[in-house]
Chains A and B, each alone.
Chain A
């Protein structure tokens, strides 16, 4: 099963490598890893998406907690959470395709962030399903380049039954 882990770490040199090394050293696979500073000085938030059965995820969580610079680890899969990813897509966009591309991107509330004679660069933000759908839909026009941030996630304030 896919798990999203929210990991608060001390923002110090080598911390990313410690976390990534933990995964590689034990043969765990990371699907995506996103890291950036938080409001608290010296603290960064990592969002890690990893796949594995319950025993593997339990080990990953415990091993992460064991790292000295790790402050907290939360498995967001156990709670209701908001997950978002941003993707940049550079598309083939000759004149004949352009209107259709714009229609699709409009439906998905994407932004056009760069234009040239035969290319369009589209920015899209959404959950995993939306990203998958837009990549599929725009794929038929020909994606020349793709850049994804990986998931960022946060627990929802209200946990509904």
Chain B
């Protein structure tokens, strides 16, 4: 039986196991919307296309599966670009379907026409313009395969309106066969042995784990290596949760610009740095020439372009982290009887504890004023590390990363690579849709939350009881911090004291709103808010000029930290 392009698309989504699509309709995709009620795929109507792509991204990060987003042509498509770039830089599998004008009109500057394939070429893993309905099923199959495999990433499929009306026999390919795309996931045996040998010899080893460990689901292998071999672990922002944040002996916290003193000192002094699924971002390395100066660096990454890109690596290992860490685990198990791991790193671990004692992650608390770190600590205390934490971008994001105890992967969703303000709330909606029974909290700033606040209506309509906690300091705090430290307090354009009434705003949407101005109310209001079965905004008026510490100034060495 022949199906239309629109029917084929929805059938493909069913075959891929997609249960929810975040989208916004328009003329070019109206045929798909006409068919949605006839298929099992649920559609969540957002209020802005940027919300749709971030929600699909949040769904993907929380589940470890692929998120799907559907928008119309022209402005619908261009509104997703920020979200596509966000997913691209953080290697998140998302498939984006965009409407396109009918094929005969392509290139004619037709109404709501844009070359979205051209626009998104540099920020997608791959993209397609479907020219024939008979190619549609194959392209969708490939799109999901490419998005999920190798280094994951967003894939866009552009759908001309007339292709959606064309008919063709539906035949979904069983397998994907592409002569040009075969990501290498298996590690080289010789290289794995070499790494095992290095671990065996190392006196001061350190694991630097990144988002690749989360996306490849290799946290169990990572934990084994760290705990059995007694190797301390630090992580990037994207890697939080891969190693349990409550291990007080081996877990050092995040490294880099706002990393802990102990993590940054450990990087500087280690003799073996085992980097897994991380890409040596400039926010992590500080001054490259002084990064891990005494270490032999091993780099495991599925993407060969990440290796040798920023730092010179001694032993590259191109492979999926799960495969590589699994192979390494086997090698080390074989060597186990020969070694006394327990005592081998005793001095090193003692040194790390000493650094931790000297400069713990802390802040100067206040009797009266509400410190933002205090609020995050309270959130962590109340939720016992069992909530999915989403963040916006800026100081709120760094405090969340520093003071939340992330115990499991896929529990801390944040825009790491692109640093997208407005990401957290719609991403939280995606996570909440994936896990209706979990507590999902967006830790926000007063600046960031205003970038996609319209999605409060999506939350209310779809009964997605996300809790937004605004650390409201009346500033674009991170830029203000830089202005304070490096621009002689020239607070140009960072003061946000003209604000909406967030409580009334929440109520206007049909959500609940709370305002906290006294320190003694923080805990009780958070508890009340988290207990409500509806979306909530908690507007917490925090100390205005609080800074994120430790801080490594841009371009400085990791040991040159500004401390509290």
Would A68 and B121 count as touching, CB distance under 8 A?
no
Chain B residues contacting A25 (CB-CB under 8 Å) are 122
Mark B103-129 against chain A: 1 for CB-CB distance below 8 A, else 0: 000000000000001100110011001
Would B180 and A66 count as touching, CB distance under 8 A?
no
Complex: A17 Cα to B117 Cα, angstroms: 11
Nearest CB on B from A2, distance (A): 21
Q: How large is the interface on A (under 10, 10 to 19, 20 to 34, 35 or more residues)?
A: 10 to 19
Would A17 and B305 count as touching, CB distance under 8 A?
no
Nearest CB on A from B310, distance (A): 10
A38: interface (CB < 8 Å) = no
Interface residues of A in 1-45 (CB under 8 A from B): 9-10, 13-14, 17-18, 21, 25
Complex: A91 Cα to B2 Cα, angstroms: 62
Would B304 and A21 count as touching, CB distance under 8 A?
no
Nearest CB on A from B21, distance (A): 23
B343: interface (CB < 8 Å) = no
Chain A residues contacting B180 (CB-CB under 8 Å) are 9-10, 68-71
B309: interface (CB < 8 Å) = yes
Interface residues of A in 52-90 (CB under 8 A from B): 55, 58-59, 62-63, 65-66, 68-71
Q: Which one of A18, A21, A25, A62 has the highest number of Cβ atoms from chain B below 10 Å of its Cβ?
A: A62
Question: Which residue of the partner chain, among B126, B303, B309, contacts A68 with CB atoms under 8 Å?
Answer: B126
Question: Beyond A9-B180, A10-B180, A71-B180, is A55–B304 a contact (Cβ under 8 Å)?
Answer: no
Chain B residues contacting A58 (CB-CB under 8 Å) are 308
Would B179 and A68 count as touching, CB distance under 8 A?
no
Nearest CB on A from B118, distance (A): 7
Question: Which residue of the partner chain, among A21, A62, A66, A71, contacts B179 with CB atoms under 8 Å?
Answer: A71
B493: interface (CB < 8 Å) = no
Chain B residues contacting A13 (CB-CB under 8 Å) are 129, 131
Tell me whether chain A's interface is mostly helix, strand or loop, or mixed.
Answer: helix
Nearest CB on B from A73, distance (A): 11
Chain A residues contacting B121 (CB-CB under 8 Å) are 14, 17-18, 21
Interface residues of B in 300-324 (CB under 8 A from A): 303-305, 308-309
B486: interface (CB < 8 Å) = no
Nearest CB on B from A27, distance (A): 12
B178: interface (CB < 8 Å) = yes
Question: Which residue of the partner chain, among B131, B178, B181, B305, contacts A59 with CB atoms under 8 Å?
Answer: B305
Would B178 and A68 count as touching, CB distance under 8 A?
yes
Nearest CB on B from A58, distance (A): 6
Complex: A138 Cα to B529 Cα, angstroms: 83
Nearest CB on A from B561, distance (A): 29
B292: interface (CB < 8 Å) = no
Chain A residues contacting B309 (CB-CB under 8 Å) are 59
Complex: A45 Cα to B308 Cα, angstroms: 28
Nearest CB on B from A10, distance (A): 5
Chain B residues contacting A71 (CB-CB under 8 Å) are 179-180
Q: Which one of A9, A18, A66 has the highest number of Cβ atoms from chain B below 10 Å of its Cβ?
A: A66
Would B179 and A55 count as touching, CB distance under 8 A?
no
Residue of B nearest to A22 (CB): B122
B146: interface (CB < 8 Å) = yes
Chain A residues contacting B146 (CB-CB under 8 Å) are 68
Nearest CB on A from B318, distance (A): 10
Complex: A55 Cα to B310 Cα, angstroms: 10
Complex: A65 Cα to B305 Cα, angstroms: 9
Complex: A63 Cα to B309 Cα, angstroms: 11
Mark B479-521 against chain A: 1 for CB-CB distance below 8 A, else 0: 0000000000000000000000000000000000000000000
Would B304 and A65 count as touching, CB distance under 8 A?
yes
Chain B residues contacting A9 (CB-CB under 8 Å) are 180
Residue of B nearest to A63 (CB): B305
Chain B residues contacting A62 (CB-CB under 8 Å) are 304-305
Chain A residues contacting B303 (CB-CB under 8 Å) are 66
Complex: A10 Cα to B126 Cα, angstroms: 13
Nearest CB on B from A54, distance (A): 10
Chain B residues contacting A65 (CB-CB under 8 Å) are 304
Would A68 and B308 count as touching, CB distance under 8 A?
no
Nearest CB on B from A13, distance (A): 7
Complex: A58 Cα to B309 Cα, angstroms: 9
Chain A residues contacting B117 (CB-CB under 8 Å) are 14
Residue of B nearest to A24 (CB): B122
Nearest CB on A from B154, distance (A): 13
Nearest CB on B from A79, distance (A): 21
Complex: A12 Cα to B118 Cα, angstroms: 14
Question: Beyond A10-B180, A14-B117, A17-B118, is A68–B125 a contact (Cβ under 8 Å)?
Answer: yes
Complex: A58 Cα to B305 Cα, angstroms: 9
Complex: A25 Cα to B121 Cα, angstroms: 10
Complex: A128 Cα to B342 Cα, angstroms: 63
Chain A residues contacting B118 (CB-CB under 8 Å) are 14, 17
Complex: A156 Cα to B303 Cα, angstroms: 31
Complex: A111 Cα to B125 Cα, angstroms: 46
Complex: A47 Cα to B308 Cα, angstroms: 25
Chain A residues contacting B179 (CB-CB under 8 Å) are 10, 71
Chain A residues contacting B122 (CB-CB under 8 Å) are 21, 25
Complex: A52 Cα to B347 Cα, angstroms: 45
Mark B174-193 against chain A: 1 for CB-CB distance below 8 A, else 0: 00001111000000000000
Residue of A nearest to B127 (CB): A14
Residue of A nearest to B117 (CB): A14
Residue of B nearest to A72 (CB): B180
Complex: A96 Cα to B172 Cα, angstroms: 72
Could you show 23 A-B contacts with beta carbons less than 8 Å apart? A9-B180, A10-B180, A13-B129, A13-B131, A14-B118, A14-B129, A21-B121, A21-B122, A25-B122, A59-B308, A59-B309, A66-B303, A66-B304, A66-B305, A68-B125, A68-B126, A68-B146, A68-B178, A68-B180, A68-B181, A69-B180, A70-B180, A71-B180
Additional 13 contacts, C-beta under 8 A, given A10-B180, A17-B121, A68-B146: A14-B121, A18-B121, A25-B122, A55-B308, A59-B305, A59-B309, A62-B305, A66-B303, A66-B304, A66-B305, A68-B180, A68-B181, A71-B180
The 5 closest A-B pairs by CB, nearest first: A68-B126, A62-B305, A71-B180, A25-B122, A62-B304
Chain A positions near chain B (C-beta within 8 angstroms): 9-10, 13-14, 17-18, 21, 25, 55, 58-59, 62-63, 65-66, 68-71
